[in-house]
Amino acid sequence: MMRIDAILSRFGYCSRREAAQWVKRGRVTAKGKPVRSASDKAEPADVLIDGEPVEAMNGLYVALNKPLGCTCSHKEEGELVYDLLPARWLNRGNGVSSVGRLDKETSGLLLLTDDGAFVHALTSPKKHVPKVYEFETSAPIPESAVALFASGELMLESETTPCLPAELEILSANSGRLTLHEGRYHQVRRMMAAVGAPVVSLTRVAIGSLRLADLQLAPGEWVEIDPAIFS
Ligand code: URA
């Protein structure tokens, strides 16, 4: 059981202080009856707000098709990935963050959540959730990159450990698909630059079994997902 004012603020509807007004205006019911006081307690599952169940009561899990030019940050200037989500979600008590980051100039599949354990589970190298990227390069991709990336011996500049083995598929002279099992800073761009084929466009097409193509999202669109697909 939670206090009604705690429910309203925890799930981003209004502040605890504003909750009294929401209750007074009859916007909140519990088990079908209007709530009388913001200090009343109820199970979130029994509560309706403006006639609707509490949103994403068991955690918020979203797949976004990140457009080019927006940033995975809460702080930076310019367009942020968070601007693409409903404002109410950003007021949720637990705070919404992205699961890892994509560069400003990378598009594609980005997960966002208010569940810190989910972020950890998906970003921890121990879990080895594969991330798949497709890219184009400004120079032909050398065949030798396939074996080098698979070897687990590629050492990137200013790193102290080599990259984990990664699967490179050469799709055409200047395009490829790379599957990574870790997430280092600008990793795809740095790996491709290391073999003389700088990336000119980059998109993430899958995380684990979740494929962007199956979600049918235009750039900037998002959909709620079931986190169980990653367990
Ligand atoms: N690798 C990159 O270089 N950039 C990204 O955004 C993700 C992976």
- Listing DSSP states for 22-65 in one string gives HHHTT-EEETTEE---TT-EE-GGGEEETTEEPTTTT--EEEEE
Over residues 92-103, the pLDDT tens digits come to 888 899 999 999
> Is 187 close to ligand 1, i.e. is its CB under 6 Å away?
yes
What mean pLDDT comes out for the span 104-123?
95
How many A from CA of 202 to the centre of ligand 1?
A: 7
Which residue in the list 50, 103, 114, 226 is annotated as catalytic?
103
Q: Is the Cβ–Cβ distance between 155 and 162 less than 8 Å? A: yes
Over residues 18-59, the pLDDT tens digits come to 999 999 999 999 999 999 999 999 999 999 999 999 999 999
What mean pLDDT comes out for the span 75-79?
88
Q: Is the pLDDT of residue 140 over 90?
A: yes
Q: pLDDT grade, residue 196 (50/70/90)?
A: very high
Q: Is the pLDDT of residue 114 over 80?
A: yes
Over residues 10-22, the pLDDT tens digits come to 999 999 999 999 9
- Tell me which DSSP letter residue 222 carries: E
Q: Is the pLDDT of residue 134 over 90?
A: yes
Q: Is the pLDDT of residue 125 over 80?
A: no
> Is 167 close to ligand 1, i.e. is its CB under 6 Å away?
no
Q: How far is CA 47 from the centre of its chain?
A: 28
